[in-house]
Chain A
Amino acid sequence: MIPWLLCALLAQAAAASPPPAPDPVPAALAAARAALDAGRPQDALQKLLALGHPEDPRVAHLRGVAEYRADDYAHAIERLTPLLGAFPAGSSEAREVEQVLGLSLYLANRIPEAIPHLEHTREWAADNMELAQVLGMAYVQTAQPDRARASLARTFGVPPDSAAAHLFAAQMMIRVERDAMADEELKRAIAKDPRLPHARYLRAQAALFRGRFDDAIALLKGELEVNPASAMALYLLGDAYVRQEKWGEAIAALQRSVWINPYFSGPYVLLGRAYSARGEPGTAEPMVRRAVEMDPNNRAAHYLLAQLLQQTGRAEEARREFETAARLQGP
């Protein structure tokens, strides 16, 4: 059919029809959006379901966003994927579809699929701190450390090639247990700035976890040279000595840690262990009780207290502490 004829037919049909009913969609969408903005995604979803028109891209778009906000990533992905390209390029709808789809894929652990959408989103939201963090973590999870560092540097506001950028990248890698990748970043951070605090501490933490106690001790001594008042470094140093059964060194490090920061239960537990191992239960017990007092959910403290009580013949009290330690293991 030729175009002019089609136009004529449409005009004729319009003239013959009764006046159209007002479009209910915009008002319903506005109400759903208001519910979303108020933090009520389920309410928004109910409004959208009541509206009908699921095939309407405007409805599907908001429904996908609501599902994402309701932590239903699988349905959000299902809803939003067909909408890529459904809205004019550069429109707020197109941007939101791509952004929410990228985030949903990330949170559904479909990380390689999430990355292109997050990268597109970054083109118009270069300064968005959260987006840079999510994209950085996606790069970490897909073993792209250089891209991860660049993105995370934006998040933390440091130059991408700086020692600090390597440190931040490493810290975020450790959060998702990518220890080997983190260690490389930390080595580069130290190479760029040998006096950078915290880098050796993080390396020492990994060394301790992997049973390389001598390495951990050397790294912690290095950390204390550049960060001498670090209570956590002293605590970790004490921990390493405890694992080597070097009780005197352990007690000295832990006591220093406590003097700097008396509000952390960890050193008290280890002091209790060290004194107990040295045959000083009378000194150990108040240390462990202090840890329990500060942190009633510290299962290690309750367990050690139970052992101390057992050793000193207070079986009933020990049994209660053992039971508390067991109960604190969680479901």
Chain B
Amino acid sequence: MSPLRARWARVALAVAAPALLAHAAPPDPRPWGVSLVDVGEKAGLRVASVYGGEASRRFILEANGTGVAWIDYDEDGRVDALVLAGTRLAPGGRQDVEWKAGEAPTNRLYRNLGRGAFEDVTERAGLRRSGWASSVCAGDYDNDGHLDLFVTYYGQNVLYRNRGGRFEDATAAAGLAAGRRQWGAGCSFIDYDRDGRLDLFVARYLDFDREHAPEPGCMWKGFPVMCGPKGLPTDVNQLFHNEGAGGFKDVSEASGVAKVTGRYAMSTVAADFDGDGWTDVYVACDTTPSILYRNNHDGTFTDTALESGLALSESGRTQAGMGLALADVDRDGLLDVLKTHFADDIPALYRNLGGGRFNDVATTAGLSVQNRHVEWGGGLPDLDNDGWPDLVYVTGNVYKEKGDWLKDYPDPGPRVVFRNRGGLRFEDVTDASGPGTAALHSSRGAAFADYDDDGDLDVLVMNMNAPPSLLRNDCTGCGHWLKVKLEGTRSNRAGLGATVVVRAGGLAQAQAVLSQSSFYSHDDLRLHFGLGTLKVADSVEVRWPSGAVDKRTHVPAGRTLVVRETTAPSGQ
């Protein structure tokens, strides 16, 4: 009998094997009660985020757009909305438009006044600035209790020190002035050496020379479109060590971060991916293998994305990594990863197998029913508080030159929503999630927070050359919830990099406190856990970036639990 025949005999005799990896039981079967309604205009978020040409995009510089953030910058207990913006090229030219005085587009900070209203406080907060903004990350780098910001640009990145409700540009004083042309992409504050001070990781997209960039002539589905990133020179990522006293030192080479080359780096997330208690950095890379900078515990990093299963698709193919999100979609207490991609592809949903290994389960999870959109900002928010993180991403094609000919690849596009049905299965509920999902926009960044403190997660979205969307979640019949806010003592003040595990009803939910996630954006630092029908969480465990672990038990739902770091790290 030939080997193949022998194998066939085995196949023929085989009975259906049990699933190797038992998935948790499905959540409660209540109807989907989520309705996302865009209340941005009504709430006062009215200024368009200028970003590149409105009718066409000649260069990739105009295509990627920018992020948004939920930050409580004035510490009044309400999260405020930051919406970044870009600028525009002069018609037919390669230089920026010269705007009339006072008309240059700027990032906008909207202060949350409560009762659903916001006011534009950009000027008095010191955030007026015009340029090609990319991403935002937040962290209290000087541990003074005020949340600081870092905003990346094509051009000079900016460190904003929060002086108690007013930001000052601390870039030069911190030693972060660039000596050359650069295109800042994702960024994350991260305490990689456990000294309690936040260091800074900065991704760079590519080395874009606007004077010599090729005119549109690359092809997409038969249409000549702008070129890139393929064919354009790459750049390397950066790591800056916080030296204290407001200063940073470039340790990109010494840390091994700059050794990873040949990537078009975009969004970043900094969290403990392998459960060793040290914060790692994952970088979504466009059309090149993504990077997992594993923390070696000695001030250096090694890219382990390939062997971790986070570099490529399930079939070993590079994807156009854009946005990232972390949550525990199968409720096994481990952080799983969402990565968004280009059209004709689906997001990656990397299930955490433990021990630093991941497996892309996007196809079997049901995400492949939507694959015509360019996916940008995304998250794994538990929109209906049933305890199972759902999946949201915003869309927008980058090629305007295709006109109306490719109706299947729309720009503007919808917001896509998948409901987590448990058992690593997701259901496309885009059409059942309210008018805010059906409304078409060319969106980029997205961030998640319960801005109106009504107990469900809302979404802030950056729209290209349009005002932002504020998707208020009008959830009916949704479950109980618990928010967790961290206050580090040995760790950094905001607890960035910490993993929080809530146990309830026999299942776990893990989340991480992140400086950046989604596409170039920043979520509220209060972690939001759905509890379904349960009114009490059995326990809340915080694994601090210092290595310490704090635990609270029997925590009632419907409140924000503030956990202050109390215990010493193990071994101390």
Chain A: residues with CB nearer than 8 A to chain B? 109, 111, 141, 143, 176-180, 209-212, 243-245, 247-248, 251-252, 255, 258-259, 277-279, 283, 286, 299-300, 302-304, 306-307, 310, 315, 318-319, 322-323, 325-326, 329, 331
18 A-B residue contacts at CB 8 Å?
Answer: A109-B224, A143-B405, A177-B222, A178-B221, A210-B369, A243-B363, A245-B19, A259-B4, A299-B317, A300-B317, A303-B312, A304-B315, A315-B307, A318-B307, A319-B306, A322-B307, A326-B289, A329-B312
Q: Select from chain B the residue with minimum beta-carbon distance to A143.
A: B405
Chain B residues, Cβ within 8 Å of A302: 316
Cβ–Cβ contact B309 & A252, under 8 A: no
Chain B: residues with CB nearer than 8 A to chain A? 3-4, 7-8, 10-11, 14-17, 19-20, 219, 221-224, 230, 288-289, 306-307, 309, 311-312, 315-318, 344, 346, 357, 363-364, 366-371, 405, 407-408
- For the complex, what is the distance from the CA of A322 to the CA of B292, rounded to whole Å? 14
Q: Select from chain A the residue with minimum beta-carbon distance to B223.
A: A109
Measured CB to CB, the closest approach of chain B to A112, in angstroms, equals: 11
Measured CB to CB, the closest approach of chain B to A215, in angstroms, equals: 11
Cβ–Cβ contact B7 & A277, under 8 A: no
Measured CB to CB, the closest approach of chain A to B397, in angstroms, equals: 14
Measured CB to CB, the closest approach of chain A to B264, in angstroms, equals: 12
Cβ–Cβ contact B20 & A211, under 8 A: no
Beyond the given A248-B15, A279-B17, please list 20 additional residue pairs across the A-B interface where CB-CB is below 8 A.
A143-B405, A179-B408, A180-B407, A180-B408, A210-B369, A211-B363, A211-B367, A211-B369, A212-B369, A251-B11, A278-B17, A300-B317, A303-B312, A307-B309, A310-B357, A319-B306, A326-B289, A326-B306, A329-B317, A329-B318
Chain A residues, Cβ within 8 Å of B7: 255, 283
Cβ–Cβ contact A248 & B371, under 8 A: no
Q: Chain B interface secondary structure, helix, strand, loop or mixed? A: loop
Q: Select from chain B the residue with minimum beta-carbon distance to A254.
A: B11
- For the complex, what is the distance from the CA of A251 to the CA of B317, rounded to whole Å? 23
Chain A residues, Cβ within 8 Å of B316: 299-300, 302-304, 325
Q: Select from chain A the residue with minimum beta-carbon distance to B217.
A: A109
Q: Among the listed B8, B221, B363, B371, which residue makes an inter-chain contact with A255, where contact means beta carbons less than 8 Å apart?
A: B8
Q: Among the listed B17, B346, B357, which residue makes an inter-chain contact with A247, where contact means beta carbons less than 8 Å apart?
A: B17
Chain B residues, Cβ within 8 Å of A310: 307, 357
Cβ–Cβ contact B312 & A331, under 8 A: no
Cβ–Cβ contact A210 & B20, under 8 A: no
Cβ–Cβ contact A329 & B289, under 8 A: yes
Q: Among the listed A178, A211, A315, A331, which residue makes an inter-chain contact with B230, where contact means beta carbons less than 8 Å apart?
A: A331
Q: Among the listed A111, A258, A299, A325, which residue makes an inter-chain contact with B4, where contact means beta carbons less than 8 Å apart?
A: A258
Measured CB to CB, the closest approach of chain B to A268, in angstroms, equals: 11
Q: Among the listed A211, A255, A322, A331, which residue makes an inter-chain contact with B346, where contact means beta carbons less than 8 Å apart?
A: A211
Q: Select from chain A the residue with minimum beta-carbon distance to B5.
A: A259
Measured CB to CB, the closest approach of chain B to A247, in angstroms, equals: 7
Q: Which of B15, B20, B221, B316 has the most CB of A within 10 A?
A: B316
Cβ–Cβ contact B311 & A326, under 8 A: yes
Given contacts A109-B223, A210-B368, A322-B306, contact A300 B20 (CB under 8 A): no
- For the complex, what is the distance from the CA of A209 to the CA of B4, rounded to whole Å? 29
Chain A residues, Cβ within 8 Å of B315: 300, 303-304
Q: Which of B8, B222, B371 has the most CB of A within 10 A?
A: B222
Chain B residues, Cβ within 8 Å of A209: 344, 371
Q: Select from chain B the residue with minimum beta-carbon distance to A298.
A: B316
- For the complex, what is the distance from the CA of A299 to the CA of B318, rounded to whole Å? 10
Chain A residues, Cβ within 8 Å of B318: 329
Cβ–Cβ contact B306 & A323, under 8 A: yes
Chain B residues, Cβ within 8 Å of A326: 289, 306, 311-312
Q: Select from chain A the residue with minimum beta-carbon distance to B346.
A: A211
Chain B residues, Cβ within 8 Å of A283: 7, 10
Chain A residues, Cβ within 8 Å of B8: 255
Chain B residues, Cβ within 8 Å of A306: 306-307
Q: Which of B8, B288, B370 has the most CB of A within 10 A?
A: B8
Measured CB to CB, the closest approach of chain A to B82, in angstroms, equals: 35
- For the complex, what is the distance from the CA of A229 to the CA of B533, rounded to whole Å? 54
- For the complex, what is the distance from the CA of A306 to the CA of B305, rounded to whole Å? 13
Measured CB to CB, the closest approach of chain B to A193, in angstroms, equals: 27
Chain A residues, Cβ within 8 Å of B4: 255, 258-259
Cβ–Cβ contact B371 & A211, under 8 A: yes
Cβ–Cβ contact A141 & B222, under 8 A: yes
- For the complex, what is the distance from the CA of A160 to the CA of B312, rounded to whole Å? 44
Cβ–Cβ contact B11 & A319, under 8 A: no
Measured CB to CB, the closest approach of chain A to B58, in angstroms, equals: 16
Measured CB to CB, the closest approach of chain B to A181, in angstroms, equals: 10
- For the complex, what is the distance from the CA of A319 to the CA of B368, rounded to whole Å? 29
**Which 7 residue pairs of A and B lie closest in terms of their CB atoms, listed nearest first?**
A303-B316, A211-B368, A322-B306, A211-B369, A300-B315, A278-B17, A329-B318
Q: Among the listed B17, B221, B346, B407, which residue makes an inter-chain contact with A177, where contact means beta carbons less than 8 Å apart?
A: B221
- For the complex, what is the distance from the CA of A111 to the CA of B402, rounded to whole Å? 13
Q: Select from chain B the residue with minimum beta-carbon distance to A269.
A: B315
Chain B residues, Cβ within 8 Å of A211: 346, 363, 366-371
Chain B residues, Cβ within 8 Å of A177: 221-222
- For the complex, what is the distance from the CA of A177 to the CA of B405, rounded to whole Å? 12
- For the complex, what is the distance from the CA of A326 to the CA of B307, rounded to whole Å? 11
Cβ–Cβ contact A277 & B222, under 8 A: no
Measured CB to CB, the closest approach of chain B to A138, in angstroms, equals: 10
Measured CB to CB, the closest approach of chain B to A177, in angstroms, equals: 5
- For the complex, what is the distance from the CA of A50 to the CA of B19, rounded to whole Å? 75
Cβ–Cβ contact A248 & B346, under 8 A: no
Chain B residues, Cβ within 8 Å of A111: 222
- For the complex, what is the distance from the CA of A243 to the CA of B369, rounded to whole Å? 12
Given contacts A211-B363, A211-B368, A300-B316, contact A248 B221 (CB under 8 A): no
- For the complex, what is the distance from the CA of A245 to the CA of B273, rounded to whole Å? 27
Chain B residues, Cβ within 8 Å of A278: 14, 17, 20
Measured CB to CB, the closest approach of chain B to A60, in angstroms, equals: 25
Measured CB to CB, the closest approach of chain A to B355, in angstroms, equals: 11
- For the complex, what is the distance from the CA of A304 to the CA of B7, rounded to whole Å? 20
Chain A residues, Cβ within 8 Å of B306: 306, 319, 322-323, 325-326
Q: Select from chain A the residue with minimum beta-carbon distance to B225.
A: A109
Cβ–Cβ contact B408 & A176, under 8 A: no
Measured CB to CB, the closest approach of chain B to A207, in angstroms, equals: 11
Measured CB to CB, the closest approach of chain B to A92, in angstroms, equals: 32
Q: Select from chain B the residue with minimum beta-carbon distance to A248.
A: B16
- For the complex, what is the distance from the CA of A195 to the CA of B264, rounded to whole Å? 48
- For the complex, what is the distance from the CA of A212 to the CA of B408, rounded to whole Å? 16
Q: Select from chain B the residue with minimum beta-carbon distance to A210.
A: B371
Cβ–Cβ contact A255 & B11, under 8 A: yes
- For the complex, what is the distance from the CA of A210 to the CA of B363, rounded to whole Å? 11
Measured CB to CB, the closest approach of chain A to B33, in angstroms, equals: 26
- For the complex, what is the distance from the CA of A248 to the CA of B13, rounded to whole Å? 10
- For the complex, what is the distance from the CA of A90 to the CA of B567, rounded to whole Å? 93
Chain A residues, Cβ within 8 Å of B370: 211
